[in-house]
Amino acid sequence: MRALVLDAGWNPRPDYDLSDDERERRLAMNSSQTWQHPELAVEERERPEPADDEVLVRVRYAGVCGSDVSMLETDGEGYMHYSAYTKLPTVTGHEFSGEVVETGRDANLFEEGDPVTAEVTDYCGRCQMCRQGFRGHCENFEQVGFTMDGAFAEFVAVPEKLVWDVSELAEQYDDEDRLFRAAATIEPSTISYHGLFTRADDIVPGDYHVYHGAGPIGLTGMNVSRAAGAGKVIAFEPSDERREIARNLGFEHVYDPIEVDPVETMADVTDGAGADVHVETSGAVAATYPVIQETLAEGANVVHISNAGSDPDLALRKYQGNSAQLYGAEGHTGQQVYPRTIRLMAAGHIDNLPIVTSTFDLEDADEAVRRAAERVDGKVLVEM
């Protein structure tokens, strides 16, 4: 089968403290310290065989994530930007939809033909983290498209327990092609859903939400916030193209933080109340945290989702004076996040199709990643 394969040279930086596990398995804990000169290419690969507890999926669409981009981008010495886990070479791609074509011997939740998507993080279910219920931080985790072969390919084999049926999306998308496009945007939507509704506590309908950054995660997040009954959804985003996409989604309060004074703008839009929910989705924390601290509503929840390159100063007095709290949020797995997000889409509360602004064929999947690197799209999809 055809697949987009990422490879790079294993060349740990001299001052990087390599663990035994990294040395033996070449599973990098911090890819930016070990992998040099990454290369992406569409290649011929063996079609995977599903293990006993796996499901084989014929992929229909897979989206390009910021992490896919940062696995290709490098610093001056040619080291990969991406700072989390990888095992190379690997087929990348983890935001996908497709149809079940085969099921492993012990996999009985799905049947051939079922339309599905999947979670990214596999968990062992037995380590100290897992057995206390913290599966998102499993000590033996694997990640589809990072440490296991992923979905920029004709087929992908995924542990059954990560797979979710999306057939109820047919209630909104009578056209199968649109259904699979929409289903490929479930994964990024779950990032915000998780941050807002499993990490933060007590976000209620009518709250004012503000997104600091309207890239793919911010845009899908804004849709989640509106679906959840946000009183207003506000966004600050410097890219003209992305602000335009936000407006096409029907959002009114979308601003260029370079052009306007975000603090004043927030005061206007919220009539002085500030935002109840702040979602950091830009990574430009040196710019956003000073705005956040000046626009906290009483009891505000700050949900930090992005990969920030630096650590912001935190104005503790502001968090005390407004009874505010800050939650660190990242990927998740093995909760109700996927089925709830799927239901929101099936109910028509979320429609992400206007966020999809470019689509490439699998044969040009490397071009799709390079396109996403321009950071002007909503979501770039690859069609298999």
Q: Which residues in 20-49 contact a second copy (CB under 8 A)?
A: none
Give the contacts of 237 (CB within 8 A, at least 6 positions apart): 211, 213, 214, 215, 218, 243, 246, 254, 255, 256, 257, 282
Q: Tell me, what DSSP letter sits at residue 215?
A: S
**Residue 105 in the binding site for a second copy (CB under 8 A):** no
Closer residue to a second copy (CB): 279 or 344:
344
Tokens 């909104």 -> residue: 172
Which residues neighbour 375 within 8 Å (Cβ) at sequence distance 6 or greater?
A: 215, 239
**113 is an interface residue for a second copy by CB under 8 A:** no
> Which residues 49-68 are close enough to bind a second copy by CB under 8 A?
53
* 128 near a second copy (CB under 8 A): yes
Binding-site member from 82, 155, 193, 360 for a second copy (CB under 8 A): 193
330 lines the binding site for a second copy (CB under 8 A): yes
The CB-of-108 to a second copy minimum distance in angstroms stands at 9
Residues 67-96 that bind a second copy (CB under 8 A): none
CA distance 45 to 371: 24
Q: Which stretch binds a second copy (CB under 8 A): 5-13, 41-49, 96-104, 346-354?
A: 346-354
**Of 178 and 349, which CB lies nearer to a second copy in the complex structure?**
349
Determine the size of the site formed for a second copy (CB under 8 A). 75
User: Could you tell me which stretch among 178-186, 209-217, 238-246, 338-346 binds a second copy (CB under 8 A)?
Assistant: 338-346
In the bound state with a second copy, the residue whose beta carbon lies nearer, of 1 and 127, is 127
Query: Are residues 128 and 138 in contact, defined by beta-carbon separation less than 8 angstroms?
Result: no
Provide the residue type at 177 as one letter: D
Q: Does 227 bind a second copy (CB under 8 A)?
A: yes
Q: Is 321 in the site for a second copy (CB under 8 A)?
A: yes
Written as six digits, the tokens of 252 are: 């009114």
Interface with a second copy, residue 13, by CB under 8 A = no
Determine whether 46 is exposed, middle or buried from the number of CB atoms within 10 Å of its CB (0-12, 13-18, 19+).
exposed
Using the contact rule CB under 8 A, the part of the chain among 10-18, 72-80, 330-338, 355-363 near a second copy is: 330-338
> In the bound complex, what is the minimum distance in angstroms from residue 77's beta carbon to a second copy?
22
- Residue 104 interacts with a second copy (CB under 8 A): yes or no: no
The beta-strand segments (E) located in 173-213 are: 208-212
**In angstroms, what CA-CA distances link 134 with 47, 53, 129?**
33, 21, 5
Q: Minimum Å distance from CB 144 to a second copy?
A: 15
**Kind and range of the H or E element at 243?**
helix 240-248
Q: Does 134 bind a second copy (CB under 8 A)?
A: yes
- For residue 206, state whether it binds a second copy (rule: CB under 8 A): yes
Range 262-281, binding a second copy (CB under 8 A): 271
Q: What amino acid occupies position 343? A: R
Q: State in angstroms the smallest separation of the CB of 71 from a second copy.
A: 18
Residue in 29, 101, 109, 376 binding a second copy, rule: CB under 8 A = 109
Out of 23, 78, 260, 336, the only residue in the binding site for a second copy (CB under 8 A) is 336
Q: Which is nearer to a second copy, 1 or 129 (CB)?
A: 129
Is 157 near a second copy (CB under 8 A)?
no
Q: Which residue among 161, 181, 242, 371 contacts a second copy (CB under 8 A)? A: 161
Contacts from 321-327 at CB under 8 Å and sequence distance 24+? 322/274, 322/296, 322/297, 322/298, 323/298, 323/299, 324/296, 324/299, 324/300, 325/200, 325/300, 325/301, 326/302, 327/195, 327/199, 327/200, 327/301, 327/302, 327/303
Structure-block tokens of residue 181:
């496009």
Compute CA distances 328 → 141, 307, 308, whole Å. Answer: 19, 11, 11
Query: Nearer Cβ to a second copy, position 129 or 263?
Result: 129
Which residues from 292-311 bind a second copy, rule CB under 8 A? 298-299, 304, 307-308, 311
Instruction: Please give the single-letter amino acid code of residue 292.
Output: I
Among 101, 142, 319, 375, indicate the residue that binds a second copy (CB under 8 A). Answer: 319
Place of tokens 């933080």: 257
Residues 99 and 113 sit within 8 Å (Cβ to Cβ): yes
